[in-house]
Amino acid sequence: SKPLLEVKDLKIYFPIKKGIRQKVASHVKAVDGVSFTINEGETLGLVGESGCGKSTTGRGVAQLLKTTEGKVLFQGESLQELSVKEMRSRRKDMQLVFQDPYASLNPRLTVEQILAEPLKAHGVERNKRRKLMEDIMEVCGLNKNYLHRYAHEFSGGQRQRIGIARALILKPKLIIADEPVAALDVSIQAQILNLLKDLQEGFGLTYLFISHDLSVVQHLCNRVAVMYLGRIVEIGEADKIFEKRLHPYTESLIDAIPISNPRKRKERIILQGDVPSPVDPPKGCAFVGRCPKVMAHCHTERPELMEHSDGHHVACHLYSLENKSVEVSSCSES
């Protein structure tokens, strides 16, 4: 299958202004050179702790905030080069589902008003709207009698179904889902994840699925990209990421997944400290302050993302050629 979305060396910097003249003193490098591709019908999970730049990446892809550098190609077309009007028409094919269904749906609107809004915005005639609304409610597991009820009358899970229905009503190709189950009770999470999976099959959807929780992406994603401090540190097939994770950060995230049998836990990495500031990131590897496997040159040299094995890329000196040659030379000396 062909790529639906290609993100090339995307950078999103936010200026920090200082002083009376509001000169730009420095930048928050929220996204600092991110590249990935998502093929049609595929799900890419974008994972990492909060503050790693996942949501900013998602919003940058959707052109909801200004990108500083790099390219976002959607169906081969560079989105940054489109006019506002052209982008508005592309938005039909690219929809977002947000984390908090309480915040993202206006509680004073009825379900009908919520679902009609995108239809109106994209010029769907009034007499066709009702049928589209009822159809999308049905596939999202909502009773069509709910159309006249207000968003505030619903539970979190039902609200997220309304949010998903709103995102899907224009039959988009790409859904950017930013922590779509993080605000929901655990018992409801699986229902919403199953719904997203069914909808993907039914509509041939492509997902960029953003989550801080690896257990959530595990069963939904074909590929996983792990972000740390504005960069991708590991990307590959989901199976490989879970079985043969390479980056110590990925390892710590996987170790944080609760498992039923605690005896399976041997040398578990427990993350200490916080993500460093993107204003003044470490010079070498960004993970240096928290990494249990840190080496001397990790402090000075930034590891680049390199292919380790088929389609599995990692940015860590443990796998870089220089480090391998260090190992070889130290072996031959002894």
Footprint on this chain of Mg ion (rule: CB under 5 A): 55
**Binding residue for ligand SF4, selected from 146, 285, 308, 313, defined by CB under 6 A:** 285
End-to-end CA distance of the chain: 50
226 part of the interface to ligand SF4, by CB under 6 A: no
DSSP state of 146: G
User: How many other C-beta atoms are found inside a 10 Å radius of the C-beta of residue 292?
Assistant: 12
Residue 44 makes CB contacts below 8 A (sequence gap 6+) with 36, 38, 207, 208, 209, 221, 222, 223, 224, 225
- Quote the tokens at residue 240: 């490989």
**Binding residue for ligand SF4, selected from 295, 305, 312, 326, defined by CB under 6 A:** 295
**Binding residue for ligand SF4, selected from 30, 55, 291, 308, defined by CB under 6 A:** 291
**Binding residue for ligand SF4, selected from 15, 293, 322, 327, defined by CB under 6 A:** 293
173 part of the interface to ligand SF4, by CB under 6 A: no
At closest approach, how far in Å is the CB of 284 from ligand SF4?
7
- Alpha-helical (H) ranges within 65-213 are 84-90, 101-104, 111-121, 126-139, 156-168, 186-203
245 contacts which partner out of Mg ion, ligand SF4, none, CB within 5 to 8 A by kind?
Answer: none
At closest approach, how far in Å is the CB of 70 from ligand SF4?
23
305 part of the interface to ligand SF4, by CB under 6 A: no
55 contacts which partner out of Mg ion, ligand SF4, none, CB within 5 to 8 A by kind?
Answer: Mg ion
User: How many other C-beta atoms are found inside a 10 Å radius of the C-beta of residue 60?
Assistant: 25
d(C-alpha 92, C-alpha 110), whole Å: 22
248 part of the interface to ligand SF4, by CB under 6 A: yes
Catalog residues that contact ligand SF4 under the rule CB under 6 A.
247-248, 285, 287-288, 291, 293-295, 298, 303, 316-318
